[in-house]
Each structure stands twice: as C-alpha cells, then as structure tokens.
C-alpha cells in the first residue's frame, strides 16, 4: 500500500523549517554555507513531497532544544546531555515494542538514570502514525473496585487498565501491578505487550529513622518515561517520542502517594507516626508529607537509584536560567508548574515574577483526547507535567 505525505501549508512549513535550521546550525557551530545548502535541499524536498526529513544530527539537537524550551520543566539544566535514540525505521508494533523495552533498560542503567528520548517516525505517512497508548511506559494499574472487591492500585490508571484488560492482559488486582505496553499503528487495533519480569527496577520504601515504615508496603519504579506527548521540530511532528529524566522526590511522595485522588497514603503515614488527625491545626498532613518524602529520598539513595530533592532541583533551575542568559536566550517558564509541591516558598523560584510561557519551538506538544481513543474505549487524557524532573500536577 502506498502512503502519502500529509497535506501541509508548504509556505508555513518552509518558514518553520528555516527558523529551526537557522537556530540549530548556529548552535551546532556549522557555517552559513552549510545552513544555506541544507535549506535549499529542504525547500526542494518540500515542494516535491509536501514534507521533509530531519538528519540524525538535526533530530538529536531538535529533541534537546525541545527539552530546553519546555516551560513546565524544572530540570532543564541537563538538556544538552539528553541521549537521543533514532528509531524512525521501526515499522511494526513488535519493532516499536522492542525499541521501548530497550529504552527502559538503557534509561535505568542499573539505577544511574540516563535522560533518554526514543523518536519514532513522523506523521509523514498518513494513516501510519505510531501511537503509544501508555501515559508512561512504566506505570501501575488501577482497579476502581466494586461491591465485592475494594479499590486498589493507582486511580489515575483506572481507564487505561480497563483498556488493557479488554485486550487480554491480566493483573493481580493489587496496588502495584505493572501495566503492559499498548501500541497501535494507524487505524489498526492496539496490541498489548507485557513488560518482562525483572526489566523494571522498583524501590521499596523505608524510612531512615522509623523501622515500622516498611509495614506500609509502599514501593515505586525507578524511572518516569513519559510516552503520550508529541515532539515537534521545525514543523514536523513525531507522535511517538517517549522520554525520561529522573525523579524529583516530591513527584512520588507528595503527588503519587500524597494526592487524595492518587494513592492517598498520608492518613496511613500519619497514623504510623501517631499524629492527631482529628484537627487540621495539628498539621498532621504537613508532618506526614515531610516524612513520606524523606522516605522516598532515603530509599532511592539506599537502592542506588538517581533522584533529586526539590531544593536542589530549584537551585539547578536557577543555574539553568543563568546559563541561558549568558547565551542570550530567554527562558520559557510557567511559574505554577515550576514551583515544587512541598515548601515552594523556601525555593528561589517562589519570588521569580518574570517567568512567562514563550511557546518556543522545537517543543513537546501536550496531546488531548484523540478520535481513535473513543473507537477503542479509552480516554487519551491531556498530559499534565513536564518531561524531566516534573513539578507535576499529575505524573
């Protein structure tokens, strides 16, 4: 079957390509002649096919620029170190799944987490777009419960878990079932690929001073690989481009375990600590939240898994701002997403009233509900978070 390129506004796409190539080649230290020759090739390709293909070097630097531009991300100091895997040759769902499993292993790196992005082909072939249904490549299942079985797992995964069950996957019904990969191409039915046992490193939570903390039975996976956003570089969209950094402890302690619409474990932690939950004036939530985040940091460090605390992450963001200023670049930022979810007023970001979202490109595009989601009974919820060290409303 012959696949045709999507219909772009050619002049608009030429403008986007020129803007990206000019910035990219300048940052890479290439000459104006090299830039002009490349732009001539792109214009010819666009006139002939309606689209163009990035070189490997352009793809890699464009992906790094997209991280640097992400207004919701506190961890952009390390944008230049992003490991870019070019997987544009993957054709089948099985090949995509194999590349995703490789990403997990490569990113985890025995606990010394690497920042990695795997980029699959662009939307140039109409009807053949690759879609990864998972919000993150690794995530725990959610079971709403019924009259016979109590609620279990991560409530944020309830809808996607239902899709996985319809596709034939089976979990234990517990709090920490690792969901499978779900992948589709074009209008084909999605396929389910269980993640092999042992590939995912999980960290059991303990506390440096409270031995009984382990009785809570909490654990979390080592690396957050966001997988349902589009990468846009020079007007070309890559709908499948999973990426990861490493965790900031509040993502796990404050949000995943602390939020009432997630695991909601603050009451259990407070009871373990013997705190008075009968009144807000005891500040039991604050005290439980602190000890829960201490447990996350302690456990990840004890397991030898990379993690950063929110104070260090905020200091790193300030260093990133200083470096960008030295390069003559303005930093795009959304204050409400950059301040950490615990003790934000004690970080230098709190008083930064100059941050604004500049909508820079290259960029990560936060995908909303898709038409084909409803066809298969799933909700493609908007991604809420930033790619690396997410100061997240939802992980």
Catalytic residue among 124, 125, 251, 291: 251
DSSP string, 160-187: HHHHHHHTT----SSTTPBPPEEEEETT
DSSP-derived secondary structure letter, 113: P
Catalytic residue among 67, 79, 220, 246: 246
pLDDT over 70 percentage in the chain: 90
Active site residue 189: no
pLDDT over 90 percentage in the chain: 87
Q: What is the pLDDT of residue 127?
A: 78
Predicted confidence (pLDDT) at residue 327 exceeds the cutoff of 50? yes
Predicted confidence (pLDDT) at residue 371 exceeds the cutoff of 70? no
Q: What is the pLDDT of residue 395?
A: 58
- Taken in order 287, 290, 296, 302, the sign of the CA dihedral is negative
Q: What is the pLDDT of residue 148?
A: 86
Q: What is the pLDDT of residue 368?
A: 64
Q: What is the pLDDT of residues 124-139, one digit of tens each?
A: 767 789 999 999 999 9
Active site residue 246: yes
Catalytic residue among 64, 68, 76, 131: 76
Average pLDDT over residues 52-81: 97
Average pLDDT over residues 342-363: 96
Q: How confident is the model at residue 376 (pLDDT cuts 50, 70, 90)?
A: very low
- Helical segments of the chain, H only: 10-27, 32-49, 56-69, 93-108, 158-166, 249-250, 266-273, 284-303, 310-326, 335-338, 371-375
Q: What is the pLDDT of residue 382?
A: 32
Average pLDDT over residues 349-378: 74
Q: What is the pLDDT of residue 8?
A: 55
φ, ψ of residue 136 to 5 degrees: the values are: -125, 150
Q: What is the pLDDT of residues 137-160, one digit of tens each?
A: 999 999 999 888 899 999 999 999
Predicted confidence (pLDDT) at residue 87 exceeds the cutoff of 90? yes
How far out from the chain centre does Cα 271 lie? 33
Q: What is the pLDDT of residue 388?
A: 45
φ, ψ of residue 198 to 5 degrees: the values are: 95, -15
- Taken in order 285, 291, 297, 303, the sign of the CA dihedral is negative
Q: How confident is the model at residue 387 (pLDDT cuts 50, 70, 90)?
A: very low
Active site residue 73: yes
Predicted confidence (pLDDT) at residue 95 exceeds the cutoff of 80? yes
Q: What is the pLDDT of residue 139?
A: 98
Q: How confident is the model at residue 330 (pLDDT cuts 50, 70, 90)?
A: very high
Active site residue 251: yes
Average pLDDT over residues 64-85: 97
Catalytic residue among 73, 192, 230, 386: 73
Contact 154, 120 (CB under 8 A): no
Predicted confidence (pLDDT) at residue 332 exceeds the cutoff of 90? yes
Average pLDDT over residues 360-379: 61
Predicted confidence (pLDDT) at residue 4 exceeds the cutoff of 60? no
> How high is the mean pLDDT of the chain?
92
Q: What is the pLDDT of residue 392?
A: 37
């Amino acid at each position: 079957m012959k696949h045709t390129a999507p219909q772009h506004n050619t002049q608009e796409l030429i403008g986007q390509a020129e803007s990206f190539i000019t910035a990219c080649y300048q940052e890479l230290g290439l000459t104006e002649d090299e830039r002009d020759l490349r732009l001539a090739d792109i214009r010819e390709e666009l006139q002939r096919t309606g689209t163009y293909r990035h070189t490997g070097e352009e793809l890699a630097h464009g992906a790094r620029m997209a991280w640097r531009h992400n207004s919701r991300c506190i961890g952009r100091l390390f944008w230049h170190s992003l490991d870019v895997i070019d997987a544009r040759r993957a054709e089948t769902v099985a090949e995509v799944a194999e590349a995703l499993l490789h990403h997990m292993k490569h990113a985890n790196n025995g606990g010394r987490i690497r920042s990695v992005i795997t980029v699959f082909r662009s939307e140039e072939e109409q009807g053949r777009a690759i879609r990864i249904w998972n919000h993150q490549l690794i995530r725990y299942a959610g079971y709403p419960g019924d009259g016979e079985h109590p609620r279990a797992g991560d409530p944020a995964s309830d809808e996607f878990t239902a899709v996985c069950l319809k596709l034939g996957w089976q979990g234990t019904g517990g709090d920490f079932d690792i969901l499978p990969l779900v992948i589709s191409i074009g209008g084909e039915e999605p396929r389910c690929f269980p993640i092999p046992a042992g590939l995912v490193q999980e960290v059991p939570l303990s506390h440096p001073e409270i031995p009984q903390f382990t009785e809570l039975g909490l654990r979390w996976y080592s690396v957050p690989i966001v997988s349902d956003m589009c990468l846009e570089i020079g007007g070309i969209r890559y709908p499948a481009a999973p990426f990861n950094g490493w965790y900031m402890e509040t993502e796990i302690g404050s949000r995943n375990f602390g939020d009432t619409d997630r695991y909601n474990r603050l009451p259990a932690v407070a009871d373990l600590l013997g705190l008075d939950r009968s009144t807000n004036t005891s500040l039991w939530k604050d005290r439980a939240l602190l000890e829960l985040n201490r447990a996350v940091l302690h456990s990840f460090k004890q397991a030898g898994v990379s993690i950063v605390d929110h104070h260090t992450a905020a200091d790193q963001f300030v260093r990133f701002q200083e470096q960008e200023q030295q390069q003559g670049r303005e930093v795009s930022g959304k204050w409400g997403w950059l301040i950490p979810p615990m003790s934000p007023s004690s970080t230098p970001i709190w008083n930064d009233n100059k941050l604004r979202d500049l909508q820079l490109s290259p960029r990560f595009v936060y995908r909303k509900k898709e038409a084909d989601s409803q066809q298969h009974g799933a909700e493609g919820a908007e991604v809420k978070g930033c790619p690396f060290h997410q100061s997240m409303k939802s992980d």
